Each structure stands twice: as C-alpha cells, then as structure tokens.
Amino acid sequence: MDTTDGKVKDHHVAWADRIGLNKQWARDIQACGEAFGSPMYPTMVRRFRCNIPNIKNGPQLKDYIDEYFNIDLKEWRTGSLVEWRTNNQQAAQNTAWLRQQAEEINKESYEYLYVFMIQLLEDYGFAFYESNIEEDEMQ
C-alpha cells in the first residue's frame, strides 16, 4: 500500500479476482455498448449475464440477476404486451404484428437487464474504478 502523505493510495476490492472477472466484465460492457441498437445487443447482454457468477462467501449475483430476469422482467414484458394489445386492438389481431411487437418488447427488456447488472455490480462494490484494469492487462 502506498501511504504517501499518510493517506492510503492503494485500494483493492474485498474479493480476489482470481479468474479475471473484472477484465471480462469490462470487455462485456464494451461489447454491449458497441452492439447497442443492433440485432446483436441481446446476445451481448446474455453473454455478460453468463459471465456473472454467484460469489463464494459473497453476494449471489447470478441468483439476483436470474430472479430479476425470470420474475420482474417477465412481468414487465407480459404487461407491456397486454397494454399494447389493449391500445392496438386491430393490429393485435394480426399475428405478424403481434409477434413483431413482442420481439420489440423483448429487445427493450435487454436494456433493462443490462442496466440492472451494471447497477448490481456497482451496488456490491465490483465497480471497475476500484481496480486498475490497465495494470491487469500488462500482467
């Protein structure tokens, strides 16, 4: 630890990143940013989701994400489609339009999932500013 001027300069996260999750998450976040608005965006968000595990003796990140995806987002998707059908009764009779709207709602749900995962990592102290990614890449 660097204690220049009596102040601690070195900061480490409270968990050991033995398999390089910080670097992988940084790559996943970059990939999501680059894919935003494209057909690949949901795939990049799913890849990011698959790279977030439960932390041994720590927060069960994967479980929180799964619960949000399988319960909260599912309810939001269902509610959004019901609302669209109510507001677009004629269009809702066309199965192609209904399917297209369901796909649009599903795509939008990945934006919410991405934000949820980023916020979850931040809330549990896995923020990237706490580790030196540039230094890690040189090793």
The C-alpha atoms of residue 50 and residue 21 are separated, in whole angstroms, by 11
Say how many Å lie between the first and final Cα of the chain, rounded. 19
The model's confidence at residue 129, banded by pLDDT at 50, 70 and 90, is very low
Q: Is residue 139 part of a domain?
A: no
pLDDT digits (tens, 9 = 90+) for 1-51: 444 555 544 444 455 566 788 889 999 999 999 999 999 999 999 999 999
Q: Is residue 56 part of a domain?
A: yes
126, two tokens: 């896995």
Q: Is residue 38 part of a domain?
A: yes
In total, how many domains does the chain have?
Answer: 1
pLDDT digits (tens, 9 = 90+) for 73-86: 999 999 999 999 99
Treating both helix axes as pointing N-terminal to C-terminal, what angle do 95-123 and 21-35 enclose, rounded to 10 degrees? 140
Q: For the whole model, what pTM was predicted? A: 0.78
Q: Is residue 95 part of a domain?
A: yes
41-69: average pLDDT? 94
Contact (Cβ atoms closer than 8 angstroms) between residue 131 and residue 12:
yes
Q: Which domain holds residue 36?
A: 4-133
The model's confidence at residue 135, banded by pLDDT at 50, 70 and 90, is low
